[in-house]
Structure 1
Amino acid sequence: MDIIVGDHLTKKIDKLKVLEDLTTNVKQIQDDVLEEILTLNSSTKYLQNFFHGRFDKEIFKKNVPVVTYEDVKPYIERVVNGEPSNVLSARPITGFVLSTGTSGGAQKMMPWNEKYLDNLTFMYDLRMHVISNNVEGLEKGKAMMFYFTKLETVTPSGLPARVASSSYLKSNYFKNRPSNWYYTYTSPDEVTLCPDYKQNLYCHLLCGLVQRNEVTRIGSIFASVMVRVIKFLEDSWEELCSNIRSGQLSEWITDIGCRDSVSKVLGGAQPEMANTIENICKQKCWKGIITRLWPKAKYIETIVTGSMAQYVPTLNYYTNDMLPLISTIYASSETQFGLNLNPMCKPEDVSYTFMPNVSYFEFIPVDGDKNDVVDLGDVKLGCSYEAVVTNFSGLYRIRIGDILVVTGFHNKAPQFKFVRRDNVVLSIDLDKTNEEDLFKAVNRAKLALDDSSDLMLVDFTSYADISTVPGHYVVYWEVKDKSQDRKIKKHMELEQETFSKCCLLMEDSLDNVYKICRFKEESVGPLEIKVVCHGTFDSLMDFFISQGAPIGQYKTPRCIKSGKALEVLEKSVVATFFGTG
């Protein structure tokens, strides 16, 4: 035991030293990363467009343009369609990472290679170190993690295309992961790898409930998934209890891997366990349901920044404000960015310390000269930037579309808070409403809903309706009764005064350009709130999954651009409201 403890302490010290070295030598490490990328890839067809002969940092910054995905898409498609990797990368491109396609529009396809997984595994290891330094006793239990994989597509070149989480979960990095506490899960790998997300989710829950007294942490990639889990549990707890009581898995679970592995986890009939879970779930009010079902859980690990902040009140409700919500990693389909080194902070205070060894980072000032692109080591406290990435997989100076603000430094490494996506907007005329402004407006209206009714906002989305003259903003709300957990049905009456006030508060929260268009020039009509029935946003999620979005990385789109998605919402509308006054 002494040897194990000593070895554990040594590993923690080693990781601490790595973290300190990385965050102390930011500029040198960034220069080394860029030199490595350029030295290896200088002969690629893409970079050859911008230089001849020696290629150093100065020439790179002078000649290689800052681009968007659409700019490099033709080069990516050449590799997708079978041209050699050296169109973009000297390292063999071994696949493509698909973006979720729900936060900013159409799904994107990014080239990747084993270096992406190397960096991801490195970040996971550091994440384990950071969490273990802040939470005690995790090694005494298991993690109930709601991880999902999706069937990959094969490109004409024969290379796989899949979301980042599936790329990791299907790789040898996951299969051969260390057998330590951090990678000990309640669910067998066969459940995680099941491509049918309903069977996957059901089996995740079943395994987690059977081992409820061993669960010390709960998690998913995005907070929206955790909310989805609770909704699924609401609909399935009786069947889950029946399975636990009998020791037999439901017949509709047809995936062989799930059936065989979960049957072993069930381990026979457990009527007392089933009765305990049943008594908890049959209560009318589900406030604190997570902590009652999993009493030893110490935190929920999931992304609650950006658009995921919407789900913080709902998760706090289901945990009775007793479990910290921990956002650990900031990453995208292009690269990993950084870690939250203060994981126990409040969700609204989360900042990510950028790791200088995973990619070369540059930043475009939001306020200032857009051509004055600065390095990671030169950003200024309090300033806002759009991130630009050059990675090891063949992307050079690509704009990510994320707007970040510098909140501090860990040694010399900047810490960034995610502010918003740059390209998610509502617009009718000259008005331009971005995601951050929309969230502020909804949050202000939500306070009024909380104060004047027993309802709570479950989820929302919006779109710019130009079918009317003038056009106007439509915001879809799904609400529920917070005191009794009753769902809003078509026969329930909703308070006209309350929702009209919410409409006015939202409009009052939007910027001056919107107000001029709305009230002075009347080129924008009154904002409309449409209340939808219970389960509508589950149906919306099902729709996007049917269109290719991954369950494990799904995020409710805050601005709807799909006509078919609008049909899902419209058929569920139970009431509409406009502001009066």
Structure 2
Amino acid sequence: MGRRSTIYSLLMPVMNQHVPDLDKGKGMYFLFIKSEAKTPGGLVARPVLTSYYKSSHFRNRPFDPYTNYTSPNETILCPDSYQSMYSQMLCGLYQNKEVLRVGAVFASGFIRAIRFLEKHWSLLCKDIRNGTIDPLITDTSVRESVSKIIKPNPKLADFIEGECGRESWQGIITRLWPNTKYIDVIVTGTMSQYIPTLDYYSNGLPLVCTMYASSECYFGLNLKPMCKPSEVSYTLIPTMCYYEFLPVHRNNGGVTNSINSISVPKSLNEKEQQELIDLVDVKLGQEYELVVTTYAGKSVPVPSRDVLRVTGFKNKAPQFSFVCRKNVVLSIDSDKTDEVELQNAVKNALTHLVPFDATLVEYTSFADTTTIPGHYVLYWELRRLDKSTAQIPPSVFEDCCLTIEESLNSVYRQGRVSDKSIGPLEIKIVESGTFDKLMDYAISLGASINQYKTPRCVKFAPIVELLNSRVVDSCFSPKCPKWAPGHKQWHN
């Protein structure tokens, strides 16, 4: 926790080199905790940020301009996602002239906050006008902390109503919080899909990625925070942990190395130990998989599954850009679904098609972020073995959607059920021959017919358009999958 607090304390000095006078206002950050679970052995398990926000390092932190937020601690620590979001938005709107920067951990989380404002701005304006707190906010500590901030302000309520009542929400961030200088969110990796939406809501405010961190460890800082998202590089701080690197080799567009699908701490074998290189030995332009040994377990290297590219040096310290999270095919928020997990989920769902003599010819997936919240889309091409059997009713495909969701990991299901950060999964049925068309298109772009494999996830816009042009039916998951705080299915 001390090392994490140290890296947070370095963020404002870096930002002040590029954006002056940030100490003269506040940050409107939407920060949340998540429910805790227990391992089979009885140990408490929770996300790293929940652990940090609940710690004395955060709750009793000394005054720091970077952590001077519009949200009182009590609103951040409220376990109810609606009450937490409402109270944080209310405080942020009320202090709109003091806000110099806005953000959340992930780009998806900040967009979700703007979507929340779209739905509830009239209720928020009512509270600002009257100096009240909506009765749905029942958490006593939240009400007490917010009541110290909110006073009747009809003029501000009229202003917010006027802006939110416009037909277009383009630039809504700079209109409601006119002194905002940048948006502080992660927009690298899978989060880059949200950049156009953020640009629309902010009229092109700078998108700042300040630091690089994971559950295993906090790694480093972006020393040029005002750069474009595509140019973000992080300088690793050597005292955060012990860094080692596995060289990554590109193979027909794929990523391979000597560690395959590691998701739990384990010792490296002799061959892998020989391949590992130290921080001082990485080469410019080369890609590596990051392996860290933390202070909590020096003998246990923890592969983070992040693939990084060396982009330069700060003095002699290497700087890295984030390339991808290894093996992840789908991600909307903090969820990470790999190909094996998706395959198993689809396999479970196909049992619903057996009575109708239907088989799955081929499938792929797409993370659709045009909706708020975003959601998973699966494209299925089916073959009916016996066309004389009854047609497959929509309810069967709905059952397939729900089975897939219940087969995915607890982080996904928590996002669906508790955090509301992920929308219902959708299955789109495509015409017969669609995946042949997809292969033809890939070959026309230069793919080898001998080495072509159907991608399990698609992102390239023309391919998504091709698939959508051949959709004959679609359905959504009819309800949320099973998930209960404290009783999660445990996944390593």
2:170 to 280, 283, 287: 287
Cα distance in 1, alignment partners of residues 441 and 181 from structure 2:
36
Q: Which residue of 2 aligns with 1:375?
A: 278
SS of the equivalent of 2:170 reads coil
- The answer (yes or no) to whether the contact 1:420–1:435 under 8 Å persists in 2 is no
Q: Mapping of 1:53-92 within 5 angstroms?
A: none
Can you give the 5+ residue segments of structure 1 that lack an aligned partner in the other structure?
1-116, 427-433, 438-460, 482-495, 520-524, 551-561, 563-581
SS of the equivalent of 1:307 reads helix
Relative to structure 1, the CA distance from residue 195 to residue 297 in structure 2 (aligned partners, 3 Å threshold; closer, same or farther) is same
Q: Mapping of 1:1-400 within 5 angstroms?
A: 117-153=1-37, 159-267=43-151, 269-321=152-204, 323-367=205-249, 370=258, 371=272, 372-394=275-297, 396-400=300-304
Cα distance in 2, alignment partners of residues 233 and 171 from structure 1:
29
Cα distance in 2, alignment partners of residues 169 and 324 from structure 1:
26
Cα distance in 2, alignment partners of residues 248 and 547 from structure 1:
31
Cα distance in 2, alignment partners of residues 407 and 394 from structure 1:
29
Q: Which residue of 1 aligns with 2:309?
A: 405
In the TM superposition, residue 134 of structure 1 has moved relative to its aligned partner by 1.3
SS of the equivalent of 1:252 reads coil
In the TM superposition, residue 414 of structure 1 has moved relative to its aligned partner by 0.7
Relative to structure 1, the CA distance from residue 145 to residue 425 in structure 2 (aligned partners, 3 Å threshold; closer, same or farther) is closer
- The answer (yes or no) to whether the contact 1:362–1:375 under 8 Å persists in 2 is yes
| TM-superposition CA deviations, 1:453-497 (whole Å, max 9, x none) | xxxxxxxx999967544212143635479xxxxxxxxxxxxxx9x
Cα distance in 2, alignment partners of residues 512 and 189 from structure 1:
56
In the TM superposition, residue 118 of structure 1 has moved relative to its aligned partner by 1.4
More helix by share: 1
Relative to structure 1, the CA distance from residue 200 to residue 152 in structure 2 (aligned partners, 3 Å threshold; closer, same or farther) is same
1:423 is aligned to 2:327: yes
SS of the equivalent of 1:357 reads helix
- The answer (yes or no) to whether the contact 2:282–2:318 under 8 Å persists in 1 is yes
Q: Which residue of 1 aligns with 2:382?
A: none
Cα distance in 1, alignment partners of residues 344 and 159 from structure 2:
44
Cα distance in 2, alignment partners of residues 465 and 363 from structure 1:
34
- The answer (yes or no) to whether the contact 1:402–1:422 under 8 Å persists in 2 is yes
In the TM superposition, residue 198 of structure 1 has moved relative to its aligned partner by 0.9
Cα distance in 2, alignment partners of residues 223 and 140 from structure 1:
25
Cα distance in 1, alignment partners of residues 440 and 454 from structure 2:
14
Q: Which residue of 2 aligns with 1:38?
A: none
Cα distance in 2, alignment partners of residues 412 and 514 from structure 1:
45
Cα distance in 1, alignment partners of residues 315 and 487 from structure 2:
38
Relative to structure 1, the CA distance from residue 185 to residue 505 in structure 2 (aligned partners, 3 Å threshold; closer, same or farther) is farther
- The answer (yes or no) to whether the contact 2:38–2:487 under 8 Å persists in 1 is no
- The answer (yes or no) to whether the contact 2:306–2:323 under 8 Å persists in 1 is yes
Counterpart of 1:190, as a letter, is E
Q: Which residue of 1 aligns with 2:467?
A: 528
Q: Which residue of 2 aligns with 1:66?
A: none
1:475 is aligned to 2:366: yes
In the TM superposition, residue 364 of structure 1 has moved relative to its aligned partner by 0.4
Cα distance in 1, alignment partners of residues 316 and 69 from structure 2:
36
TM-score scaled by structure 2? 0.68
- The answer (yes or no) to whether the contact 2:34–2:79 under 8 Å persists in 1 is yes
- The answer (yes or no) to whether the contact 2:12–2:65 under 8 Å persists in 1 is no
Give the number of equivalent residue pairs: 375
Counterpart of 1:409, as a letter, is F
Cα distance in 1, alignment partners of residues 232 and 440 from structure 2:
27
Can you give the 5+ residue segments of structure 2 that lack an aligned partner in the other structure?
251-256, 259-271, 331-335, 351-358, 373-430, 456-462
Cα distance in 1, alignment partners of residues 146 and 337 from structure 2:
41
- The answer (yes or no) to whether the contact 2:35–2:486 under 8 Å persists in 1 is no
Q: Mapping of 1:426-575 within 5 angstroms?
A: 468-475=359-366, 477=368, 479=370, 512=448, 516-517=452-453, 528-529=467-468
Q: Moved runs in structure 1, 4+ residues, more than 3 A?
A: 153-160, 368-371, 434-437, 461-469, 476-481, 502-515, 525-531, 542-550
Q: Which residue of 2 aligns with 1:414?
A: 318
Cα distance in 1, alignment partners of residues 140 and 450 from structure 2:
55
Cα distance in 2, alignment partners of residues 226 and 509 from structure 1:
36
- The answer (yes or no) to whether the contact 2:26–2:70 under 8 Å persists in 1 is yes
Counterpart of 2:311, as a letter, is T
Identity over aligned residues, as a percent?
45
SS of the equivalent of 1:386 reads strand
Cα distance in 1, alignment partners of residues 276 and 149 from structure 2:
54
- The answer (yes or no) to whether the contact 2:194–2:369 under 8 Å persists in 1 is no
Q: Which residue of 1 aligns with 2:427?
A: none
